[in-house]
Amino acid sequence: MSGRKIDNIILIIFICASILCIAVVVRIYVVQALNLDEFSGFIAFLVCGLLCGALYFAFQSIVNDFLSPKLERLFGRGQSESIIEEEPAPEEAPLPQYNEYKLATEQRAVEKQQQTLDNVIRYTMEKLSAYMNETDMKSLCENIRTFQYANEQECDKIETFVVVDSKVRVVDILHYGWNIGNQFKKSSPETAAFLKQVFARSFEK
């Protein structure tokens, strides 16, 4: 139980005891001094207790509603204003190590993209190096680097095409394109535009 609740209970007990004492005194006065019967004394006791309780609650309401706000404005205004003036507004605390986390996240993204590109170029050389010369392979790898970040319109602007051996069928090129497009998370139209430009000779057959 908190200290404030204990203080409130003690105050209520003190007030009830005071009202009870006053009511008892009034009853004794009515019975002994006025020579009335016990019932009249009980009624006087009851009425006195109710009146004292009503007077207390009325007094408390007046204090809480009228006197307390005026006293607080009178005595507390200067102190509260000085406190507000003395205490500076708290500055917004920066997020701890935000820049470090941001840079680390961006670095991981760059490394992941580079790893994906390396995997695609390695896959390309494994599948197609036997069917094209070194010059065409270099051109194809450069086009792949462009394809990684290009959209469909940019793929349509690729001008350097490569020549592959006739043993490589169109279906093989389509299968190859689907694999690298999936690695780069490209859409079907983007992959189709890339293949159409880079393997233009193969699709003319």
> If you ran DSSP here, which 8-state letter would residue 130 be given?
G
CB 144 within 8 A of CB 120: yes
Q: CA angle, 202 as apex, 197 and 205 as ends, to 5°?
A: 125
Residue 21 has pLDDT above 80, yes or no: yes
Q: What is the pLDDT of residue 88?
A: 61
Could you report the per-residue pLDDT of 109-154, keeping only the tens digit for each? 999 999 999 999 999 999 999 999 999 999 999 999 999 998 888 8
Which residues touch 63 (CB under 8 Å, ≥6 apart)?
A: none
Task: Give residue-wise pLDDT tens across range 56-84.
Answer: 777 777 766 666 666 666 665 555 555 45
Which of the two residues, 119 and 205, has the higher pLDDT score? Answer: 119
- Output 9 or 174, whichever has higher pLDDT: 174
Give dist(CA 52, CA 54) in Å, integer: 5
Question: How far apart are the C-alpha atoms of 135 and 123, rounded to whole Å?
Answer: 17
What is the per-residue pLDDT for 66?
Answer: 66
Q: What is the largest CA-CA distance in the chain?
A: 135
Burial of 152 (0-12, 13-18, 19+ CB in 10 A): middle
Q: Does residue 131 contact residue 168 with C-beta atoms inside 8 Å?
A: yes
Please give the pLDDT value at position 36.
73
Residue 169 has what pLDDT?
93
